[in-house]
Amino acid sequence: MFDVIERLKAEWTDKYVVIDSPAPELARFARTTGQVRTVNMNGRCLVEFDQYNNIGWYDIDPACLKIVPKPLPKPAEPKEKAAKPAAKPAASTATKPAAKPAAAGAKKPSTADILAAARGKAAAPPKAAAAPVSAPEAEAEPAVAPQKPEAPQKSPPPKKAAGGLPTTTAEKIAWCRTNDNKG
């Protein structure tokens, strides 16, 4: 038995194969090439297929496999930056250097700017740090006396609907406050 397994290993290991069987469980490998990595002790080939970035080895009976020549290497995927067309070329080289500092000075938009743009509003300019006020400017501005906070005003009694019960949330809260204290 061991001699048969060793012979199968020598015959199948590192060979390129395709599925040659109508078995439905092997249909997912129908159009792909695989490489036999080894033969296990039950006489089945462990095949790694080159599909879906999958590195799994599948246990397949050699009767379902057909040896094929080594497939051609896949073409290298172009990088995104190389694939993108260049921006419109400048009319003259004199304008090109001027554009670079402007782009270098540009900052990424803040989260507030992005959210404001998404809401369709113009973003508020970033607040500058408060600069110290010089003495002549401080004298020119009249001092404003701080105002006392006003006492909270009582809300008017809740309006009642035709059925006698409040309809809005504010009315319901006010009704509960007045009626729950009785008791």
Q: With contact defined as beta carbons under 8 Å apart, do 166 and 172 qualify?
A: yes
Q: Contact 77/53 with Cβ under 8 angstroms?
A: no
Reported as a single tens digit per residue, the pLDDT across 60-111 is: 999 999 999 988 777 666 666 555 555 555 554 544 544 455 555 567 888 8
Domain spans in the chain, listed from the N-terminal domain onward: 2-68
**What is the CATH architecture assignment of 2-68?**
Roll (2.30)
Give the pLDDT band of residue 176 (cuts 50, 70, 90): confident
**Alpha-carbon gap, residue 37 to 28, rounded angstroms:** 19
> pTM for the whole thing?
0.40
pLDDT band at residue 50 under the 50/70/90 scheme: confident
Q: Is 36 exposed, middle or buried (0-12, 13-18, 19+ CB in 10 A)?
A: buried
